[in-house]
Structure 1
Amino acid sequence: MVKNSRRKNYQSLIFLLVFMLVILSGCGASASSSSSEGGMPEVIRIGIMPSEEGEMNRSQEQLAADITEATGIPAEIFVAEDYNMVIEALRAGKIEIGLIGPFGYIIATERADAKLLVRSESDQQSNTVILVRNDSPYQSVEDLKGKDFLFADPASTSGNLYPRATLMKELGLTNEELDSFFGSVAFSGGHDKSLLALANGNADAIGTSSLMVPMMAESGLVKEEDFRVIAESDPIVGGAPLLYRQDLPEELVTQLRELMLEYDTKNPKFLESVGAARFVEGSDSDFDPIRQVAKDLDMSPEELLSK
């Protein structure tokens, strides 16, 4: 069942503590933060979000293998419970690379001094959609008053930032008023989890990426015809950024960037799993539209994370 947001935030804190303790305690020598001569890390650890879909898990494992081959340094995948854990692990120096959303990028650059390695680019325009089950009676966001709503992740662009902005615009409410409009508001921990919760009747509506339903339908986990869009946002720009710890040697950063810029030919399944066609070189200004949406919500990243 959908839990209230306070309980979910408490659980996320517990998950974060466990995640950090596991890394700090080592999980073996490979989780050490020590570096070899020349400042190169002994292990390249990649923070990434969990997936319900087996093909994506395999493509993540292939990512680690490809990084190992390109750099000569063993690479490992560390699965985080949410974007905030990726950000905190980057800040603590416990991972070297993190894949996160555009809004997460803004938080990570401010909080963890992380740097942009590359960003994803898609041939499809994406945005946020407010979804209900096709057999539900809800025809508009106004019909959701007193119902259970599910966001994906506090640091998610298409799973929190844009859905909030869309709901505020449609309902004429402030961000402070939004949560009390619903019967309950919670975070699922991921877009796939939100969609499965909706499909299973554990939420009345969700905010998620427009690419999520066809992506999960292709894997056979859901059917597209089981869902209905009742509102949608403006297009999302910026792409999913791949970040690196700011103290990594420039030689290693160059090796990683060269690998990722050609990754559409090496591991297209991984790119598909993040709704992208390729990685491209990006700049900090690419994310200015996301900053503007956050500003329009009249809330700092820290306040949005605490929702």
Structure 2
Amino acid sequence: MRIFKRLATIASALLLVTVLAACGKSSSSSSSSSYTPKKLTVQFVPSSNANTIEAKAKPLEGLLKKQLGIPVKVSVSTDYNTIVEAMGSKKVDVGFLPPDAYVLAHKEYGSKVILQAERYGYKQPNDQETNKLVKTYKSQILVRKNSGIKTIQDLKGKKIAVQDTTSTAGWIYPIVELYNHGVNINKNNISTVQVKGHDQGVMAVYNGTADAAFVFEGARVLVQKDAKDVMKKVVPIYTTKGIPNDTITVRKDMSSKWDKKIAKAFKEIAKTKKGHEIISSVYSHEGYVDAKDSNFNVIRNYDKTAKKIDK
């Protein structure tokens, strides 16, 4: 009889442990994606002049507040890494992340992509915008027309204006495709200078402070008002393969309910006249479509090669 009592006691104890463990798992799981914002913080990255972007993006605060029913704070980060870290430390709820920055944010902090931007495509010469909406864009290598630089091989020994090392169009894609053509950014006597914004990359070439620049296709349009002859003086010598468009990404613990609310809000805002004007002027976005993490596996493949180059 004692043996049966002891077995019953042990069984009860094991059952209690199992129940507690299950409760612990349930609590952990729910807390990992149960954040409900009382005030939404949205941050952009400086693809061009940071002050200009902030001024253009600020009106989104009112439009998002109207859609979501809570206060919204819009700001611009100093660079790509800053916004990734801010989302990881839960200081920023929503980030407009380029694809490589998203991949990093997802890997390091579990940040979730909810939307991907649509843009009009470009055709050459002179970065002419097409009327076709696309979910990818391209990077270009620009040089001065009279520089004598005609091919990727001619970049050896030259000075190149680049973006942050997590910038897809301003670093990752160009260095990988250079590498695939036999030119190593770190081993062929190439010097680099980091500039903030693709417009600054174009101007570095235009003003002669750099021999070449890595920028997204269409970046020359950003400076056309100030440098009216930029299309004649600054020309592409190489265009990369397609890159997935920018993301709208949320922090890891954002609840699924708010994932959907935020996604719906941005889609609806993009359809309004005022909202469309804002997203178009900031990043040339025309609208947003649902996105999933696997859309960015191509970026992960480029990242692997980039790491080899940096060794």
Q: Percent identity?
A: 24
Give the match's secondary structure for 1:192.
helix
Amino acid in the other structure paired with 2:305 = D
Q: Which of 252, 273, 278 is equivalent to 2:258?
A: 252
Aligned residues: 259
Give the match's secondary structure for 2:266.
helix
Contact 1:64 1:77 in 2 (8 A): yes
Shift of 1:298: 4.7
> Counterpart of 2:159?
148
> Counterpart of 1:26?
none
Give the match's secondary structure for 1:202.
coil
Give the match's secondary structure for 1:41.
coil
Q: Deviations over 1:67-89 (max 9, x none)?
A: 12211221112221111001000
Q: Deviations over 1:144-189 (max 9, x none)?
A: 222211211211111111111121123x14xxx4223244213213
CA gap 1:90/1:221 in 2 versus in 1, 3 angstroms: farther
Answering whether residue 69 of structure 2 is matched by residue 72 of structure 1, we say yes
Q: Which of 270, 286, 289 is equivalent to 1:277?
A: 286
Gap regions ≥5 residues in structure 2: 1-33, 122-135
Q: Deviations over 1:102-142 (max 9, x none)?
A: 11111110112101121112231621111012232222222
Give the match's secondary structure for 1:180.
coil
Answering whether residue 247 of structure 2 is matched by residue 241 of structure 1, we say yes
Answering whether residue 145 of structure 2 is matched by residue 134 of structure 1, we say yes
Q: Which of 232, 238, 242 is equivalent to 1:231?
A: 238
Gap regions ≥5 residues in structure 1: 1-37
Distance 1:57 1:91 in 2: 22
CA gap 1:179/1:135 in 2 versus in 1, 3 angstroms: same
Q: Which has the larger radius of gyration?
A: 2
Distance 2:50 2:150 in 1: 30
Distance 1:103 1:54 in 2: 23
Give the match's secondary structure for 1:259.
helix
Answering whether residue 58 of structure 2 is matched by residue 61 of structure 1, we say yes
> Counterpart of 2:39?
43
Give the match's secondary structure for 2:87.
helix
Give the match's secondary structure for 1:179.
coil
- TM-score, normalising length: structure 1: 0.76
Distance 1:39 1:130 in 2: 42
Shift of 1:284: 1.0
Q: Deviations over 1:201-220 (max 9, x none)?
A: 22110111112112442x54
Amino acid in the other structure paired with 2:110 = D
Contact 1:126 1:211 in 2 (8 A): no
- TM-score, normalising length: structure 2: 0.75
Give the match's secondary structure for 2:254.
coil
Amino acid in the other structure paired with 2:236 = V
Distance 2:65 2:35 in 1: 17
Shift of 1:39: 4.9
- CA RMSD in angstroms comes to 2.4
Amino acid in the other structure paired with 2:44 = I
CA gap 1:282/1:183 in 2 versus in 1, 3 angstroms: closer
Shift of 1:291: 1.7
Amino acid in the other structure paired with 1:143 = D
